[in-house]
Each structure stands twice: as C-alpha cells, then as structure tokens.
Amino acid sequence: MKALTMAHGRARFWLWGAALAVYGFLYLPLAVVVLFSFNDSQLNAQWVGFTTRWYSKLLGDGEMLRAAANSLTIALLSSTIATVLGAMAGLAMHRYRFRFLPFLVLTPVAMPEILLGVSLLLFFRQVLDLTLGFLSILVAHITFSIGFVAVIVRARLAGMDESIFEAARDLGASPWATFRRITLPLILPALVAGFLMSFTLSIDDFVITFFVAGVGVSTLPLQIYSMIKVAVTPEVNAVSTLLMALTLSLIFLASRFAPDVLKGKE
C-alpha cells in the first residue's frame, strides 16, 4: 500500500512538472513581450529601465490607429453577421439532418488557413472581379467564422429536450413565436459565445487577411507584421500586449458561456 502511494505521488509530481514545462513554453514568450513593452530602449536588445512612453507613442501613430479601427470595425461586423448566419446554419443542421450541410458549413473550419486564403483570393479576383479591400476582408472573415458559431449553436441544441418545442406547437404557437420565446432565449448563451469567438478570430487573423487585404487597407496584425520586418521595437511589443490583453479577455468571456453550451445545460 505504501509503495502504491509513493508511486502515485511520483506520477503526480512528473505530471505536474510536465504540465508546468508546457505552460512555461507557451506563456513565457508572451510574458517577455509584455515585459519589454515597458523597456526604455529603442533597440530592445536588453533591459534598460521602466517606461510607459511606448504606449503614449501609440496614441500618436496615425497608421496604427487606422489599422486598429479597421480591425475593430471588421471584427464587429463580421462577428455580428457570422453569428446570425451561423445560428441559422446550426438550427438547420440540428433540425433537418442533411448530410451535405455539415460538410458545407464546417469545411472552412477544417481547411488550412493558407488554402482558404488562396481560394478566397482567386474567387474574389477571377470569379467576382472584386477589388481587394475592406469588403473582401469582411466577407473572408464572415466565411471562416460561420462554422464556429454553427458548431456551438448545434451543440447547445443537441442538449435540449425536444418536448419543449413539441409542447409549444401543441399549445398553438407559431414557428416564429416558438423561436422568439423559447428557442432564442435557450440558445442565447451559445450566440454570445459564438460572437465572442468570432470576434477573437477576426481581430487577430493574419494569414487569410494577408491574401485578401489588397492595397490601401491594413488591419492590426498586418500593421504589426509590416513593423517587425524591420525590427521588433518596444512599440511593437506595446501594441502586441494590448492586442493580447483584448484577445485573452474575449476568450475568458467566451469560456464563461461555452462550458454550459457544450454540456447542454439549461
């Protein structure tokens, strides 16, 4: 019994050690970015002293502010539209059970980003003859966000009791009244989680945006990429820290809704 307890203790020790090593590998580089965003050195090669002037400098950077405004606008619009379309797709997948529908909806989720970016680029230019810019980025972000919302909504619906909807129909409720008074309130956590997930994916997307952005329209990830081609300055670290804080906050908010959605709780 004692030997078994000791073996269990050693296993726990190694498991905790492996977990801490993995998390350290993932998060230590992020901590370095945050730390050096307060470094009082233009070269950013070594720590010189503490300062917040790089954050103040961001407020006077017109290109960075325009890129941030573009990212926020595209993220809000694409997330809103993707939430509406994704909710419709999730309802359709749950209700009608068409075999090809999940394939069509979930393909952009499973497809590699570089392949999706190239496909959208060819579609916009050779099929639609669309000038690349704000609209092409918006459509691309909606395209890859719909599947995530649909999966979350479908998971929420799968955990519901179908007798609720049957009771509503037996009591004479119209399809619209059933959706408005029963279905919508029940899937609301899924819609919120899907919106936050879509917003997070949109605001920090680089690969797909790189292919469909065109000339004259830049988002925050593209602007950061253009800056680090020269050197990683503390200003880059500062904007990366702010973007990281926003993304992590949205992921945290989404996680507050997602567990109940995925477990099918009412």
Q: CA 3 to CA 1: how far, in whole Å?
A: 5
Q: What are the structure tokens assigned to 123, written together?
A: 């579609």
| Radius of gyration from C-alpha coordinates of the chain | 23
- The angle that helices 134-158 and 100-110 make with each other, rounded to 10 degrees, is 120
Residue-wise pLDDT tens for the chain (266 aa)? 566 566 666 777 788 888 889 988 888 888 888 888 888 877 776 777 888 888 888 888 888 888 889 999 999 999 999 999 999 998 888 887 777 777 888 888 888 889 999 999 999 988 888 888 899 999 999 999 999 999 888 888 887 777 777 777 777 777 788 787 888 888 888 898 899 889 989 988 999 999 998 888 888 888 888 887 776 777 888 888 888 888 888 777 767 765 554 444 44
Q: Give the pLDDT score at 27.
A: 85
CATH of 62-263, one of 3.40.50.2000, 1.10.10.10, 3.40.50.2300, 1.10.3720.10: 1.10.3720.10
Q: Looking at residue 215, what DSSP letter applies?
A: S
Q: Which of 81, 114, 105, 72 is nearest to 206 (CA)?
A: 114
Q: Residue 75: CB partners within 8 Å, gap ≥ 6? A: 141, 198, 199, 202, 203
Would you say how long the chain is, in residues? 266
Q: Give the pLDDT score at 262.
A: 45
Burial of 235: CB neighbours in 10 Å, binned 0-12, 13-18, 19+ = buried
Residue type, 249: S
What is the CB neighbour count within 10 angstroms for residue 37? 23
Q: Residue 57: CB partners within 8 Å, gap ≥ 6? A: 235, 238
Beta strands in 154-230 (DSSP E): none
Q: CA 232 to CA 37: how far, in whole Å?
A: 10
Question: Do residues 185 and 250 touch, judged by C-beta distance below 8 A?
Answer: no
- Give per-residue burial for 8-24: e unless 16+ CB within 10 Å, then b: eeeeeeeeeeeeeeeee
Q: Give the pLDDT score at 182.
A: 81
Q: CA 224 to CA 218: how far, in whole Å?
A: 10
